[in-house]
């Protein structure tokens, strides 16, 4: 009899964990409020765990998530059942009431170690809004493919964000604006939702995204990576696009520099004028001592009143190894893609897409190997 009572109590405890232990995004503050539940998505509530009337669900009342371009932001969670971790993506869209066919642009892929680096409890993750994102209103999304759930799952929470400091920041000095298409950022990965697409992930693994983009981190302490089954792993009506990358060493959307022309930039106020609002994303490139202009109309959207566009330095320019920041981290360009830089055994950053990332904290009790290494671990 005591055995039966013990088994019943264990079953109740297990059910309570399943019902209340999943993860919900805490910051940025998500849509849904008290009605937002923590269960995996189904095809009917994709995207964003949409409940009820979209006009009501996507209300921004009481939700202030202001993010300046390039400044460190925090992704944190409410809940305890991290299911051993898994893989996550952070993405944004200009669609302020996203639907199943909305196109998203991924700004960070976390392969393994999310939302828990150790698989034991939730962690907090730093991220930044890329320099290629213009100021304005967006919807931010966090997605999660859990590792140890017994069956393939897909989680997604969304939040309204206001991006600041984009265009105005890039008009300082002699910088010239280059209009970048949204295709330079990859489409959001979606799987395990039968009515959205046929893509599936493998339980007990950390999925490797088919197109993670150039901004990738792998913070997991015991990751078990696996490829994804299927193709077209994106929202309905969307297409796989943008740059590709893996392991923090990709160079998505870079390609070959556009061919140079003999035209020099026109010294007028139009050079610092922001692009049309419809472009959505911009990047800036500082002119070299011998400015080189691009003639690729397909890569750069220009108008008759805009100044000529300055192309990136040629491949022969030796990359910088970066300079020391105030916290001991490195800033600027780097040449060894995937290289880690450990400071004090407790913080690290990674060389990704030719530049050093922001400093990130190691999990409690875990040390990294001091200095620059390809393995990180002490």
Kindly tell me if the per-residue pLDDT of 249 is higher than 80.
no
Confidence of residue 292 (pLDDT cuts 50, 70, 90): very low
- Residue partners of 95: CB distance under 8 A and separation at least 6: 102, 103, 139
Q: Is the pLDDT of residue 352 over 80?
A: no
Domain ranges across the chain: 22-226, 323-373
What pLDDT band is residue 321 in, cutting at 50, 70 and 90? low
Contacts of 141 (CB under 8 A, 6+ apart): 47, 48, 89, 90, 91, 92, 93, 98, 104, 156, 157, 158, 188
- What pLDDT is recorded for position 376? 67
Q: Which residues are within 8 A (CB) of 103 and not within 5 positions of it... i.e. 6 or more apart?
A: 93, 95, 182, 187, 188, 235, 238
Could you tell me what percent of the chain has a pLDDT over 90?
A: 47
Joined together, the tokens standing for residue 343 give 């400071």
Q: Which residue has the higher pLDDT, 370 or 251?
A: 370
Looking at the chain, the whole-number percentage of residues with pLDDT higher than 70 is 64
Q: What confidence tens digit (pLDDT) does each residue in 6-40 have?
A: 344 333 333 333 334 479 999 999 999 888 999 99
Q: State both tokens at 181.
A: 């298409």
In three-state secondary structure terms, 58 is coil
Which band of pLDDT confidence, cut at 50, 70 and 90, is reported for residue 183? low
Residue with tokens 């692009």: 275
pLDDT category of residue 168 using cuts at 50, 70 and 90: very low
Work out the average pLDDT over 313-318. 42
Give per-residue pLDDT as tens, 90-130.
999 999 999 999 999 999 999 999 999 999 899 999 999 99
Indicate the fold that domain 22-226 takes in CATH: Coagulation Factor XIII; Chain A, domain 1 (2.70.50)
What mean pLDDT do residues 147-163 have? 94
User: Which of 222 and 66 is assigned the larger pLDDT?
Assistant: 66
Read off the pTM: 0.60
- Average pLDDT over the chain reads 75
What local confidence, expressed as pLDDT, does residue 257 receive? Answer: 36
Q: Distance between CA atoms of 258 and 15, rounded to whole angstroms?
A: 58
């Amino acid at each position: 009899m005591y055995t039966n009572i013990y088994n019943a109590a264990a079953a109740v405890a297990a059910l309570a964990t399943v019902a209340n232990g999943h993860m919900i995004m805490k910051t940025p503050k998500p849509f849904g409020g008290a009605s937002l539940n923590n269960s995996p998505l189904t095809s009917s509530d994709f995207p964003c765990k949409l409940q009820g009337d979209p006009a009501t669900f996507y209300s921004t009342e009481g939700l202030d998530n202001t993010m300046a371009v390039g400044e460190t932001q925090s992704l944190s969670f409410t809940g305890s059942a991290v299911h051993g971790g898994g893989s996550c993506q952070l993405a944004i869209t200009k669609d302020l009431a996203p639907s199943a066919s909305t196109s998203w642009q991924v700004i960070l892929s976390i392969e393994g170690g999310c939302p828990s680096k150790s698989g034991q409890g939730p962690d907090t993750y730093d991220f930044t809004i890329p320099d290629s994102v213009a100021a304005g209103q967006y919807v931010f999304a966090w997605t999660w493919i859990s590792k140890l759930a017994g069956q393939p799952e897909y989680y997604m929470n969304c939040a309204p964000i206001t991006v600041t400091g984009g265009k105005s920041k890039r008009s300082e000095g002699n910088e010239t604006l280059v209009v970048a298409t949204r295709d330079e950022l990859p489409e959001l990965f979606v799987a395990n939702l039968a009515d959205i697409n046929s893509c599936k992930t493998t339980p007990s693994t950390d999925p490797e995204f088919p197109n993670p983009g150039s901004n990738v981190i792998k913070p997991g302490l015991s990751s078990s990576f696996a490829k994804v089954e299927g193709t077209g792993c994106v929202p309905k009506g969307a297409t796989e696009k943008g740059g590709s990358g893996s392991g923090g060493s990709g160079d998505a959307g870079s390609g070959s520099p556009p061919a140079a022309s003999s035209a020099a930039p026109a010294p007028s106020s139009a050079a610092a004028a922001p692009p049309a609002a419809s472009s959505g994303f911009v990047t800036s490139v500082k002119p070299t001592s011998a400015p080189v202009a691009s003639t690729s109309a397909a890569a750069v959207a220009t108008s008759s009143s805009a100044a000529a566009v300055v192309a990136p330095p040629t491949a022969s320019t030796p990359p910088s190894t970066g300079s020391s920041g105030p916290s001991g981290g490195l800033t600027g360009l780097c040449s060894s893609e995937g290289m880690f830089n450990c400071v004090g055994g407790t913080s690290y950053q990674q060389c990704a897409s030719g530049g050093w990332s922001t400093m990130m904290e190691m999990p409690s009790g875990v040390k990294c190997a001091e200095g620059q290494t390809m393995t990180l671990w002490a």
